[in-house]
A and B are shown apart, each in its own frame.
Chain A
Amino acid sequence: DIQMTQSPATVSASVGDTVTITCRASQSIGYWLAWYQQKSGKAPKLLIYKASNLESGVPSRFSGSGSGTDFTLTISSLQPDDFATYYCHQYNSYSWTFGQGTKVEI
Chain B
Amino acid sequence: EVYLVESGGDLVKPGGSLRLSCAASRFSFHTYEMNWVRQAPGKGLEWVSYISGSGSITYYADSVKGRFTISRDNAKNSLYLEMNSLRAEDTAVYYCARVGGIAAEKVDYWGQGTLVTVSS
Known: A43-B95, A43-B113, A49-B101. A96 touches B47 (CB 8 A): yes
Number of A-B residue pairs at CB separation under 8 A: 53
User: Does A64 interact with chain B (Cβ within 8 Å)?
Assistant: no
Q: For the complex, is B59 an interface residue (Cβ under 8 Å from A)? A: yes
Binds A, one of B13-21, B24-32, B84-92, B103-111: B103-111
Q: Select B47's contact among A49, A53, A95, A100, beta carbons within 8 Å.
A: A95
User: What per-residue 1/0 map shows which CB atoms of B50-71 lie under 8 Å from chain A?
Assistant: 1000000001011000000000
Q: Out of B47, B62, B106, which one reaches A98, CB within 8 Å?
A: B47
In the complex, whether B45 has a CB less than 8 A from a CB of chain A is yes
Task: Tell me which of A17-25, A65-73, A75-83, A86-94 binds B.
Answer: A86-94
Contact of B107 among A42, A53, A89 (CB under 8 A): A89
**How far, in Å, is A88 (CB) from chain B's closest CB?**
10
With A94-B59, A95-B59, A95-B61 already in contact, the answer to whether A46 and B47 are too (CB < 8 A) is no
Expressed in whole angstroms, the Cα–Cα distance for A53 and B35 within the complex equals 21
- Tell me if A7 is interfacial: C-beta within 8 Å of chain B: no
A89 CA / B47 CA spacing, docked (Å): 10
**Is B110 in contact with A87, judged by CB distance below 8 angstroms?**
no
Whole-angstrom distance from the CB of A101 to the nearest CB of chain B? 5
CA distance A94 to B64 in the complex (A): 14
Report the Cα distance A96→B101, complex, angstroms.
18
Q: Which residues in A have their C-beta under 8 angstroms from that of B107?
A: 34, 46, 49, 89, 91
Residues of B within 8 A of A (CB): 35, 37, 44-47, 50, 59, 61-62, 95, 101, 105-108, 110-113
